[in-house]
């Protein structure tokens, strides 16, 4: 059994689902921070800055804790495609993604308490959308699935109909690259280490 508790600093049900599927028990503590990009801030830098800010937003704990925070940014080149803020925004964002390849960057920050150490990592995936007709865009936008998601789509939902290919981590596109978490979780005793190799 791990000697510390695990806290997911995120309200995202998709991130919670990924951790549960990995067999982990954890508490959820959403953090509200200002997610406005800084002038000229690169997509990866934005994701990492926000992930670290979320991790640091968790109040001090009474017992040893490992906090996991993440932030996902969708970008075409250096242009950040944020979360839609009004009903018309999904159509505009999906029109930019249609028939093109974009990057999904998720930064993960882990804060150990009471040690107050924070480590962070980034993962990039390239996602190519199939061409979408105006009717496709209107139909998918009308489902409302993408309203709270970077890039206005969900890979694990209806949006999968329009994803032609993925280069890189699948779980990164959902919002939490599990392969980047593995070594950290093992270090803190949340997952068993692999058995010794037989030679």
Would you name the residues annotated as active-site residues? 71
CA atoms within 13 A on the CB side of 198: 0
- 132 in Cβ contact with 162 (< 8 Å): yes
- 155 in Cβ contact with 173 (< 8 Å): yes
What is the Cα–Cα distance from 47 to 189, expressed in whole angstroms? Answer: 27
Which stretch of DSSP H or E encloses residue 192?
Answer: none
| 74 token code pair | 């969708």
| 178 token code pair | 């599990």
Question: Which residues, 6 or more positions from 62, have their beta carbon under 8 angstroms from its beta carbon?
Answer: none
What is the Cα–Cα distance from 115 to 83, expressed in whole angstroms? Answer: 34
Beta bridge partners of residue 65, listed in sequence order: 5, 113
What is the Cα–Cα distance from 24 to 19, expressed in whole angstroms? Answer: 6
């Amino acid at each position: 059994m791990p000697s510390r508790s695990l806290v997911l600093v995120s309200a995202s049900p998709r991130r919670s689902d990924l951790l549960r599927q990995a067999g982990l028990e954890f508490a959820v503590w959403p953090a509200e921070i200002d997610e406005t990009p800084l002038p000229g801030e690169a997509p990866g830098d934005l994701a990492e800055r926000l992930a670290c800010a979320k991790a640091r937003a968790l109040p001090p704990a009474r017992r040893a804790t490992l906090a996991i925070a993440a932030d996902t940014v969708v970008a075409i080149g250096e242009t950040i495609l944020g979360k839609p803020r009004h009903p018309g925004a999904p159509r505009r964002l999906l029109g930019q993604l249609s028939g093109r390849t974009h990057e999904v960057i998720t930064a993960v920050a882990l804060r150990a308490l009471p040690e107050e150490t924070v480590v962070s990592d980034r993962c990039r995936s390239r996602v190519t959308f199939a061409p979408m007709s105006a009717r496709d865009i209107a139909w998918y936008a009308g489902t409302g699935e993408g309203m709270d998601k970077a890039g206005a789509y969900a890979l694990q939902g209806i949006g999968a109909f329009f994803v032609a290919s993925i280069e890189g981590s699948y779980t990164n596109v959902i919002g939490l690259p599990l392969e980047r978490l593995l070594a950290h979780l093992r270090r803190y005793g949340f997952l068993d280490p692999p058995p010794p190799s037989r030679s």
